[in-house]
């Protein structure tokens, strides 16, 4: 278990080279990878909380994300073979039409991926119809719309309107987030949920998917 703790530390410290090396050691030692991945996921959740409370900042968060990716790249083939890597669901995420902010969305993407979700990040300023098209293409479970300005908040409502018009509303859960948004507004536009930060986003997605 010493190498597992070393791996967790490498991810927490954002050292991708050490993370890859130690991950290989873990594989060679024949460790059960499922609990190892669970520990790494918990570490990323903790980092997400630290980011939200300004204990760490974006560069540290992204370095840890890279380290997590490096470890998972090593584990990937073994996880697939053992069936340990169980995808929780597919999320399509992007910035609302006209919204040029990405940092918050990027953090949510990172933490969701670390928690076992396949995430398609469409970037910023995404047309409402593009959310719908990508969700159909990927057979997504959840559409997440980020609005960081009051002027772009209507974009989330537009996504829901298009889904309803096309008879697709029941196929996808739509969640929203961003500084000017709140739970009351989310209910008003017919969204399935609202998240204030990345930690809440993971909890919300898990609740919607019925997983832990």
CATH number of the CATH domain containing 168? 3.40.50.280
- Domain containing 186: what range? 89-209
Residues 101 and 183 grouped into a single domain = yes
123/56 same-domain check: no
pLDDT higher than 60, residue 80: no
Total-model pTM: 0.73
pLDDT at 144 over 90: yes
Q: Count other C-beta atoms under 10 Å from residue 47's C-beta.
A: 26
48 and 148 assigned to the same domain: no
Does residue 59 share a domain with residue 135?
A: no
Q: Kindly report, residue by residue over 175-206, the tens digit of the pLDDT.
A: 999 989 999 999 999 999 999 888 899 999 99
Check whether residue 139 and residue 180 sit in a common domain. Answer: yes
What is the predicted pLDDT for the residue at 1? 64
Mean pLDDT rounded to a whole number for the chain: 90
Say whether both 55 and 101 belong to one domain. no
CATH number for the domain including 59?
1.10.1240.10
Which residues have a Cβ under 8 Å from the Cβ of 145 and sit 6 or more positions away? Answer: 93, 94, 95, 96, 131, 155, 156, 159, 174, 175, 176, 177
SS3 of residue 92 by DSSP = strand
- Confidence at 83, pLDDT banded by 50, 70, 90: very low
- Give the number of domains in the chain: 2
Inform me whether the pLDDT recorded for 58 exceeds 90.
no
- pLDDT at residue 114 in the model: 77
Query: Helix H segments across the chain?
Result: 2-13, 16-28, 33-52, 58-82, 103-114, 128-138, 154-165, 183-188, 198-209
């Amino acid at each position: 278990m010493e190498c597992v703790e070393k791996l967790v530390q490498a991810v927490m410290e954002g050292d991708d080279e050490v993370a890859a090396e130690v991950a290989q050691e873990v594989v060679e030692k024949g460790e059960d990878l499922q609990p190892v991945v669970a520990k790494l996921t918990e570490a990323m959740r903790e980092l997400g909380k630290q980011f939200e409370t300004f204990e760490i900042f974006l560069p540290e968060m992204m370095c840890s994300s890279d380290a997590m990716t490096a470890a998972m790249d090593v584990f990937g083939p073994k996880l697939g073979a053992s069936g340990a890597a169980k995808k929780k669901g597919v999320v399509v995420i992007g910035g609302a039409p006209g919204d040029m902010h990405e940092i918050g969305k990027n953090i949510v993407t990172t933490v969701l991926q670390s928690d076992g979700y396949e995430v398609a990040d469409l970037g910023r300023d995404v047309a409402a119809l593009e959310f719908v098209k990508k969700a159909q293409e990927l057979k997504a479970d959840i559409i997440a719309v980020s609005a960081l300005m009051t002027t772009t908040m209507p974009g989330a409502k537009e996504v829901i309107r298009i889904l309803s018009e096309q008879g697709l509303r029941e196929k996808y859960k739509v969640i929203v987030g961003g500084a000017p948004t709140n739970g009351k507004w989310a209910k008003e536009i017919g969204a399935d949920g609202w998240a204030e930060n990345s930690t809440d986003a993971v909890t919300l997605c898990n609740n919607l998917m019925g997983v832990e």
